[in-house]
Amino acid sequence: MKIYINNKELEVSGNEPLIEELNRNGYNIPSLCYAKEAKHQASCMVCMVKNIANGQMIPSCSTFPTEGMKIETDTEEVLSLRQMSLELLLSDHRADCEAPCTIVCPNKLDPAQILLYYDKTHPCPPCEGGSSHAEKDTPNTNKDLRESFPCYNCKAPCEKACRRGTVDKSVSIREIMIEMAENHPVLFENTPNGNSLPHREGRGGSVFSSKLGRYTNEEKEWLKEVYNDASHCLHCACEGRDKCKLREYSAQAGIKAPRYGVSSSLPVKEQIRVVGKLCYEPAKCIRCGLCVYNSEDGFTFHNRGFVMQVVIPEESKNHIKEQLATLCPTGALFLAP
């Protein structure tokens, strides 16, 4: 059958949803709640196109072409509505893409990653008995370290940006960075770009970074209780940011700052171990339902309206398979490293 995309004729089979036909022909329609070969229901509205015949905005992931259908995909109206749907999703997405410490680092280091490693190798708070500090690898004997490693002479804006600072006390990032640089120089070698320091990638205008907003007082109490690793770091950076489509499309749409204040009923920073390495962080969930529709007696919706959540009952965790993480369009479902 023939359909018309932005006034151009296109021959299609009619057996696949519009989005497949469009993407095959290079229209690059973004979509979050849709995954080929998986059960889905239109919800995110990021893939919408305009049906000229009745003037309605329709989700291309769930609409099948009909003979003579006329579709617009690139008008100002369509693009701005798509952008608004992303902005609305972001206003209910209580998570940081990048850790604030990493974002502000004037030396382009990645403190977030070092802190992650630090906590992994320091399983308990150091001051408590029985702490098992990691073995030092060959200590750095380079006397020039003091000069070459930038943290020595830095005013540590990372510590000012540190989210832990809004809870009780900032993480001593500079101190830890120096300790790690002295004891584990290997960490700062063999990093991409041949740079001698772990360098965060993709900084620059094209990358979007979601911001979490402020913690409530109850959240602060809860965070103090739960996040008590050696460094006290909250590990703000998102584990799933590299595969996150929400981030990708937000960058493509040129979204810089959130247009709507973040208010959300989601439990911030709560991470639930589901099965094996699979973890679930509800605050990053956009409620597309892919994990619900594609698990049997597993993930399920709870409540309705704005406060609707996706939950995983304790008793149903063993019905879930790790691969489900690949369906999640954001970092809400991820495999723990």
Partner 1 sequence: MACEDCKLNSPELVLESMVRRTDAIIDRIGGTRDKIIPLLQALQEEFSYLPSDALNHIYERTEIDRAQVISVSSFYSQFRMVPYGKHTIKVCIGTACHVKGASIVYDAFKRELNIPDDSITTNDQQYSIEKVACLGCCALAPVVQIDNKIFGHVQAGRVRDVLAEFEELQSQNGKENESQKREPQGEVRIGMENCCQASGTAEVRDAVVKACDELGINVKLKPISCVGACNQVPLIDVAMPNGEIVRYPNIKSEEVKEVLLHHFKPASKLRRLRNVILNHIDTFHTDTTWDNILWKPEQERTQHINTFLNGQHRISTEGYGKMNPLDIDEYIKLGGFEALKKALTSMKREEVIDEVLKSGLRGRGGGGFPTGRKWQMVAGNESDKKYVICNGDEGDPGAFMDRILLESYPLRVIEGLIIAAYAVGADEGIFYIRAEYPQAVIRIRKALDMCREKGMLGENILNTGFNMDIRVFEGAGAFVCGEETALIGSIEGKRGFPHLRPPYPAQAGLFGKPTLINNVESLSQISYIINHGAEEYAKVGTEGSKGTKVFALAGKVNHGGLIEVPMGTTLRQIVEEIGGGVEGGEKLKAVQTGGPSGGCIPAELCDAKVDFDALNQMGAIMGSGGLVVLSESSCMVDVARYFLNFTCEESCGKCTFCRIGIRRMLDILDKLSTGKATMADIDRLEELANSVKKSALCGLGKTAPNPVLSTLRYFRNEYEEHVQGICRTGSCKGMVKLVVTDDCLGCTKCARCCPSEAIAFTPYEKHEIDVTKCTLCGLCMDECDYKAIKYENLHK
- Residue from the set 25, 302, 326, 336 that interacts with partner 1 by CB under 8 A: 302
For partner 1 (CB under 8 A), the number of binding residues is: 45
- Residue from the set 23, 43, 121, 172 that interacts with partner 1 by CB under 8 A: 43
Q: Look up residue 257 and give its amino acid.
A: A
Contact call for residues 280 and 320 (beta carbons, < 8 A): no
**Minimum distance from residue 18 beta carbon to partner 1 (Å):** 12
**Minimum distance from residue 77 beta carbon to partner 1 (Å):** 8
Any idea what the Cα angle at residue 189 is, between residues 185 and 193, rounded to 5°? 155
Contact call for residues 215 and 95 (beta carbons, < 8 A): no
41 by Cβ neighbours in 10 Å (0-12 / 13-18 / 19+) ranks as: middle
**Minimum distance from residue 300 beta carbon to partner 1 (Å):** 4
Query: Closer to partner 1 at the Cβ: 46 or 109?
Result: 46
Three-class secondary structure of residue 263 per DSSP: coil
Residue 6 near partner 1 by CB under 8 A: no
- Residue from the set 279, 299, 328, 329 that interacts with partner 1 by CB under 8 A: 299
**Minimum distance from residue 286 beta carbon to partner 1 (Å):** 8
- Residue from the set 88, 251, 255, 335 that interacts with partner 1 by CB under 8 A: 88
Contact call for residues 216 and 187 (beta carbons, < 8 A): no
Strands (E), 201-313: 272-275, 278-280, 300-302, 309-311
Residue 27 near partner 1 by CB under 8 A: no
Q: Kindly report the number of other CB atoms within 10 A of residue 80's CB atom.
A: 11
Residue 89 near partner 1 by CB under 8 A: yes
Window 212-271: residues binding partner 1 (CB under 8 A): 260-261, 263
2-5 and 70-72 as β-strands: parallel, antiparallel, unpaired? parallel
Q: What residues line the site for partner 1 (CB under 8 A)?
A: 41-46, 48, 56-59, 62-63, 81, 84-85, 88-89, 91-92, 260-261, 263, 286-287, 289, 292, 295-308, 311, 313, 315-316
